[in-house]
Amino acid sequence: MITIGCGNTGAKLALMFDKNSYVFSTAEQDTNNILSSGSRVIVISKEGASKRFSIGESIWQENEEKLRSELSQIIDEKVIVFSSLGGGSGSSSLAFISNILIEQSCKVFIIGILPFKREVNPPLANSVQSISSLLPIIDLVSVMLFDNERLIKSFDGNWIEINKHIIRVVDYIVNLLEKYNTDDYSPVTLDQSELDSIIFGGGFVDFSDTFIEEGNPKFEYGSLNKETKNCMMCMFVDSRIQNHEKVDEFQKILSDQIMKFGRKIPNARLIPGILRGTVKETNSEEGVTDRCYFTIASGLSIDGYVKKIEKIRDSALAKAEAYAAKTKKAKIMSARNSRLLDI
């Protein structure tokens, strides 16, 4: 598996996830930040994108052959790409990188970080244009969004903890079997190819650790419905339970949940499994301690995502118009960029 980081934030997250990541930079300041950590960085440009999507897009267009050369050895691989959607260079890189990797028979999983509202423009506008650039290939790449607006509230503005949370969730998803599942007995096993088919199945991806016996999985934007394409429901049974007959009893509990949620996602490929590991937190309001659940869904209906992005678009356009009215000399976005915001 290959990890790529684009822009300052993308580089930071990628290196937290994998110290051997490919890191792309278009700004000298970002390059210096990364080099100071002792990591290798691929410099595409030194001028930077001035935090604007259109400038970043021009940089990647002008340096597409160089980008292709740097990515030429990544063939038929699973690739995770980290990027902020609010910056200029990272947000504008995603469509370019994805298209090249798709041509090289790679499976791509994009981790995009949405800006918080107070970042205003250009970050809000950049995020909308970035997602808009991915929609034409949304069936060919997987995209998972993290919303800084929500994370700031959840972690009281602690950016260190926010970044750790993002990496922890991505690590759960990607390394669920390799790192978090033990070799203890399970009556319903899962294999890596099944997990990969969910993660890299294309479309929007989301993750939930809701205790599904007590409620529906809580996702960032999406929900399980008839448009969901892929869903994996994993029950973790505490590895301290060693009696096989006792473990077998959990299969009925899981089967009941699969039957319940199967009605909600009649057109999806639903993969159940019982994994083993030390259960520390279950998220059960009724005090269940011997099991917990992870739900991973991909190919989620884009409706919830589009509604979210439409709100960001409207806010970005309103702020841009107010800015232009105040200055009366310049616009923060060109007419072309304003049209791009209308997704």
* Domain that residue 139 falls in: 2-173
pLDDT digits 0-9 by tens, 263-291: 989 999 999 999 999 999 999 999 999 99
CATH code where residue 280 lies: 3.30.1330
- Look at residue 337 and tell me if it is in a domain: no
- Look at residue 341 and tell me if it is in a domain: no
- Look at residue 317 and tell me if it is in a domain: no
What is the domain count for the chain? 2
β-pairing verdict for 291-300 and 203-208: antiparallel
pLDDT of residue 331: 55
Q: At what angle do helices 28-35 and 7-17 cross, to 10 degrees?
A: 20
d(CA 197, CA 254): 21
Give me the sheet containing 291-300, strands edge to edge. 42-43, 22-25, 2-6, 78-84, 107-114, 141-147, 203-208, 291-300, 230-238, 269-277
pLDDT of residue 37: 60
Q: Are residues 108 and 196 in the same domain?
A: no
- Look at residue 222 and tell me if it is in a domain: yes
Q: Are residues 41 and 111 in the same domain?
A: yes
Structure-token pair, residue 231: 């869903």
pLDDT of residue 343: 42
DSSP structure string for 166-216: HHHHHHHHHTHHHHH--SS--SS---HHHHHHHHTSSEEEEEE---TTSS-
Q: Are residues 99 and 222 in the same domain?
A: no
d(CA 109, CA 121): 27
Structure-token pair, residue 57: 């897009």
pLDDT of residue 87: 80
**pTM of the predicted structure, to 2 decimals:** 0.87
Q: At what angle do helices 123-134 and 53-62 cross, to 10 degrees?
A: 50
pLDDT of residue 292: 96
pLDDT of residue 50: 67
Q: Are residues 194 and 75 in the same domain?
A: no
Q: At what angle do helices 7-17 and 159-174 cross, to 10 degrees?
A: 60
d(CA 127, CA 115): 7
pLDDT of residue 212: 95
Q: Are residues 109 and 155 in the same domain?
A: yes
Q: Are residues 148 and 239 in the same domain?
A: no
d(CA 184, CA 169): 23
CATH code where residue 107 lies: 3.40.50.1440
- Look at residue 284 and tell me if it is in a domain: yes
pLDDT of residue 300: 86
- Look at residue 342 and tell me if it is in a domain: no
Q: Are residues 161 and 216 in the same domain?
A: no
pLDDT-flagged residues of the chain (< 70)? 28-39, 48-50, 117-121, 316, 319-343
d(CA 245, CA 81): 43
Q: Are residues 27 and 166 in the same domain?
A: yes
Q: Are residues 218 and 238 in the same domain?
A: yes
